[in-house]
Structure 1
Amino acid sequence: MNYEHAFVCGNPALDFAATLRARRTVRFEMFATPDRLDAWFIESGLVDTIAPADEADVEQAKETREAIYALVAARQFGQEYDEEALSRLNGAARKPPATPQLSQAGRRTEATAEQALSTVARQTVELLSGPDVPLMKECGNPECTRIYIDRSRGMRRQWCGMESCGNKFKAAAYRARKKSTSGAADG
């Protein structure tokens, strides 16, 4: 099970919200199957093993993700929280979270999808009530709708990640400069 989800937002709650890609254009759903949801929880590092999710878990995750995205966007833009989104997030956060255990081999976290989702919801509560709120920015790629934490010097970061969005724009800008330079030389 390796789907290589992207974790570029600087916070698991923001990475979770970013699993619906390109919200303003051709949406791409990362949680298309229970296996994809399981993979995200493991690849995120929240859990080491997870009981296999089912379709109901996927629907719960999608609904919670959309609540997280709505709350993050509202907080980022200084708007009031949507009451339904608050209720959904807080309901997920009230469930038992994934709990790490210590064994002879070290730390290990086993969870159900509901426990892992509760952990993400609790991280969202911490994020939106914590010191990183002023550092949240939306990616400069107009097709990307990821919100990330900008910890760069001077808060000058423009992209959620260089590999995912920044390189595309830098390459396009380079091609445009090269084309205008060659066009000027021809004239």
Structure 2
Amino acid sequence: MRHAFPGGTPALDFPGTLRFRHRAEPREDLDSPVSLGAWFREAGITVDDVPAGPADLRKALALREAVHRLVRAAMAGEDHDRDALDLVNRYARKPTPVPQLTPAGRQVDATVEQALAHVARDAVLTLSGPDVPLLKECGNPECSQIFIDRSRGARREWCAMDPCGNKIKAAAYRARKRANGLLTAGRPGRPPA
């Protein structure tokens, strides 16, 4: 699987395809029409990759950024960007993929428009539902993934344990050791030279 899905819903995982948004040069995971088609399959929206072209990719990236702006506004308690709201609602009104039962099992075929409509409807449900107060940005300073924190007491600080949770826990461990004088400037476990 090429793509990561730590957000808990397509409405958060789709904007997460632009990784490390805090960096001067974020990493683009939807770097081709093929990667877009694969994302729909890996997200469980379709069973097979969706055939996509360059125009489809441009539309998908525009929708992705609109969803991201709406998610950020919801987290901050701010008004929604009108253009972003209009674009998401326009896609949410379109037909979505329809699962079919075949002799081989479940099959879901879709066009890019139908798959994007699925993402847009999920954004509408996520941003108008009870999970809005549970939206958090990953505590790893290099990560910009937003996720739904359904942990006990809503105390989770990272989008996924690997790699972000591991990094945060390791940094906290080192900080505790340093504070207790157990970690020296040299390598752990060795006395300073």
Root-mean-square deviation (CA), in Å? 1.9
Task: Determine the structure 2 residue equivalent to 1:181.
Answer: 182
Q: Which has the higher strand share?
A: 1
1:52 Cα offset (Å): 1.2
Q: 1:10 aligns with which of 8, 11, 14?
A: 8
Q: Is the 8 A contact 2:15 2:68 kept in 1?
A: yes
Q: Which runs of 5+ in 1 are unaligned?
A: none
Give me the whole-angstrom Cα distance separating, in 1, the residues matched to 2:21 and 2:50: 29
1:171 Cα offset (Å): 2.3
Deviation readout 1:117-137 (Å, 9 max, x if unpaired):
110101110111111111111
Give me the whole-angstrom Cα distance separating, in 1, the residues matched to 2:163 and 2:61: 22
Structure of greater Rg: 2
1:81 Cα offset (Å): 0.1
Task: Determine the structure 1 residue equivalent to 2:97.
Answer: 98
- TM-score (norm: length of structure 2): 0.89
Q: Is the 8 A contact 2:41 2:47 kept in 1?
A: yes
1:51 Cα offset (Å): 3.7
1:35 Cα offset (Å): 0.8
Identity among equivalent pairs (%): 54
1:50 Cα offset (Å): 3.9
CA separation of 1:182 and 1:142: change in aligned 2, threshold 3 A: closer
Q: Which has the higher helix share?
A: 1
Give me the whole-angstrom Cα distance separating, in 2, the residues matched to 1:178 and 1:50: 48
Q: Say whether residues 1:113 and 2:112 are aligned partners.
A: yes
Counting matched residue pairs gives: 185
Name the aligned partner's letter for residue 154 of structure 2: M
Give me the whole-angstrom Cα distance separating, in 2, the residues matched to 1:107 and 1:119: 17
Task: Determine the structure 2 residue equivalent to 1:71.
Answer: 70
Give me the whole-angstrom Cα distance separating, in 2, the residues matched to 1:164 and 1:57: 31
1:163 Cα offset (Å): 0.2
Name the aligned partner's letter for residue 94 of structure 1: R
Task: Determine the structure 1 residue equivalent to 2:26.
Answer: 27
Q: Which has the higher contact order (CA 8 A, sep 6+)?
A: 1
The SS at the match of 1:148 is: strand
- TM-score (norm: length of structure 1): 0.91
